Amino acid sequence: MGELDPVIHAPSRLRIVTTLNDLLEEGDTVTFPRLQELLAMTAGNLTTHLGKLEAAGYVSIAKAFEGKRPVTSVAITLEGRAAFRDYRRSLLELLG
Amino acid sequence: MNANQDTTPLPEDEQALDPRAMAELMAAQRTTVQRSQSRGVRIILGGWAFAWIVGFLALWSGTAGGNPLFTLPGGLEWWIFGAAMAVGVIVATVTGTRMGRGVQGQSTTAGKLYGLAAAASFVAMWLFISALRRHVEIDAETAALLYVGAFVLTVGVVYAVGSAMSRSWAQFFFGLAILLLAIGATLLGAPHHLLLYALVGGGLMLAFTWMLGRSVAAGPGA
C-alpha cells in the first residue's frame, strides 16, 4: 500500500482523477458543474478535493467570466495523467 | 467554485479502501464516464435508424414496382422521406451539442470539424451528381440508384473515417458495412434497393446501437 500515491489514494480523488483522465483529451477542460454532475458530489466536497489535487500539480483550475457569469474550468495536467497511470499500474500489481 | 471560502470538513471518503475496493471504484467511475459519452451516440444512431427505416420504406412504397401491398399517392413518399431525415438531423444536432456540454478544447474543435466535414460532404456529393447530370443523360432508374447510393456511400465514409477520431474498431467496421450495403443495394437494383437500405441499413444502425450499449454494460475494467 505504501507505493500507492497518497494524493490519489482516497476514494473521491480517485474518482475525480479517473473522470478527468477518461473524459478529457490533452488540451481539454471541463466546467465545474459538468464534473460535479459526472461525480455526483457536493460542490464543497469537490472543491476541497480539487484543491488537494491542484496543490499536488495533478489538475489545473482556471476561473473566467462568460459575460457576467463566472465559469470554473478544470483540466488534468500531464503530471496528473502520469500519476494516475502509475497509481493504476501499482494498484493492479497489488491485486496480482 | 469557492475554494477559499469552503470550510466543508473532509468526509469519510478521505479514508482509502482496500486495493480491490479502490479498483472497483475506479472501474465503476470509468463506466459512468463512458456511459455518459455513449448514451448520446446511441440516441443519435437510434434517430438515424428510425429515419432510414421510415424514410426508405416510404420511398420504396411510393415507387412503381416497389411495395406489393400498397403504393403511396404521388409525392407523399418524398415528404415522408424528407421528414424522417429531418428528424435524424435534429436528433443528431441536439444530442451532439448536449454530449459536448461542459467540455472545451481540442476534442470539441475536432468534433465540430468532423460534423461540418460530414455535412459538407453530403451537400458536395449532391451538387456533384447534379452538375454531372447537366452533361450526361441519366435515366430515372439510374438516378434513383445514383443519388441514394452516393448518399449511403458518404454515410459509410463519414463513419469509417470518424473511427479514427473515436479510436473505435467497431465504428470502423460499421462504416465498412454501410459501404458494402451501398454496393450490394446497387447490385440488387431499383426499386428494391430502397427496401435493402431500410431494413439492412436501419438494422445495422440498431445492431451497432445495441453493441455500444452492451460494451458499456460490460464495463471498461479497472
Split at pLDDT 50, 70, 90, the class of B222 is low
Split at pLDDT 50, 70, 90, the class of B219 is low
Q: How far is B190 from chain A (nearest CA, A)?
A: 45
**Exposed e or buried b for every residue in A8-23, given b needs 16+ CB within 10 A?**
bbbbbbbbbbbbbbbb
Query: Among B14, B19, B36, whose Cβ lies nearest the Cβ of A38?
Result: B36
Q: Record the cell numbers describing residue B217, joined without a space.
A: 454494460
Q: Which domains does chain A have, with CATH numbers?
A: 6-95 (1.10.10.10)
Q: How many percent of chain B have pLDDT more than 90?
A: 70
Q: Using a CB-CB distance cutoff of 8 angstroms, which residues of chain A are in contact with residue B35? A: none
Q: What is the mean pLDDT of residues B70-81?
A: 93
| Tens of each residue's pLDDT in chain A, 96 residues | 457 899 999 999 999 999 999 999 999 999 999 999 999 999 999 999 999 999 999 999 999 988 888 999 999 999 999 999 999 999 999 887
Q: Do A34 and B103 touch (CB under 8 A)?
A: yes
Residue A38's pLDDT is: 94
On the CB side of B143, how many CA atoms lie within 13 Å of its CA?
A: 12
Query: Residue B50: exposed, middle, or buried by beta-carbon count in 10 A (0-12, 13-18, 19+)?
Result: middle
Q: Which of B6, B8, B22, B31 best probes binding to A when mutated, by most A CB atoms within 10 angstroms? A: B22
CA dihedral sign, ordered B85, B91, B97, B100: negative
Residue B15's pLDDT is: 77
Split at pLDDT 50, 70, 90, the class of B48 is very high
Residue B8's pLDDT is: 52
Give the residue on A whose Cα is nearest the Cα of B5.
A44
The separation between the first and the last C-alpha atoms of chain B, rounded to the nearest angstrom, is 30
Structure letter (DSSP) for residue B1: -
Give the integer Cα–Cα distance in Å for A86 and A58: 13
Residue B192's pLDDT is: 96
Give the residue on B whose Cα is nearest the Cα of A72.
B1
More confident residue, B29 or B1: B29
Q: Which residues have a Cβ under 8 Å from the Cβ of B99 and sit 6 or more positions away? A: B37, B40, B41
On the CB side of B141, how many CA atoms lie within 13 Å of its CA?
A: 10
Q: Using a CB-CB distance cutoff of 8 angstroms, which residues of chain A are in contact with residue B34? A: 22
Strand partners, B104: A29
Residue with C-alpha cell 476541497?
A48
Helix axes B19-62, A78-94, angle to 10 degrees: 110
Q: What is the pLDDT of residues A62-75, one digit of tens each?
A: 999 888 889 999 99
Split at pLDDT 50, 70, 90, the class of B221 is low
Pseudo-torsion of CA A38, A42, A46, A48, nearest 10°?
-170
Q: Using a CB-CB distance cutoff of 8 angstroms, which residues of chain B are in contact with residue A46? A: 1
Give the integer Cα–Cα distance in Å for B158 and B153: 9
Q: Using a CB-CB distance cutoff of 8 angstroms, which residues of chain A are in contact with residue B13? A: 10-12, 45
Task: Report the mean per-residue pLDDT for chain B.
Answer: 89
Query: Among B16, B32, B222, whose Cβ lies nearest the Cβ of A88?
Result: B222
Q: What is the pLDDT of residues B4-43, one digit of tens each?
A: 444 455 556 677 788 899 999 999 999 999 988 888 989 9
Residue B214's pLDDT is: 83
ipTM of the complex: 0.91
Query: Residue B166: exposed, middle, or buried by beta-carbon count in 10 A (0-12, 13-18, 19+)?
Result: middle
Structure letter (DSSP) for residue A72: E
| B1: pLDDT strictly greater than 80 | no
The residues in B 38-97 lying below 8 A from A, measured between CB atoms, are none
Give the residue on B whose Cα is nearest the Cα of A94.
B19
Q: Using a CB-CB distance cutoff of 8 angstroms, which residues of chain B are in contact with residue A51? A: 3
Residue B9: how many other CB atoms lie within 10 Å? 8
Split at pLDDT 50, 70, 90, the class of B2 is very low
The residues in B 88-127 lying below 8 A from A, measured between CB atoms, are 101-108, 110
Residue B9's pLDDT is: 53
Q: Using a CB-CB distance cutoff of 8 angstroms, which residues of chain A are in contact with residue B219? A: none
Residue B120: how many other CB atoms lie within 10 Å? 10
Q: What is the pTM of this model?
A: 0.81
| AA letter at B98 | R
| B74: pLDDT strictly greater than 70 | yes
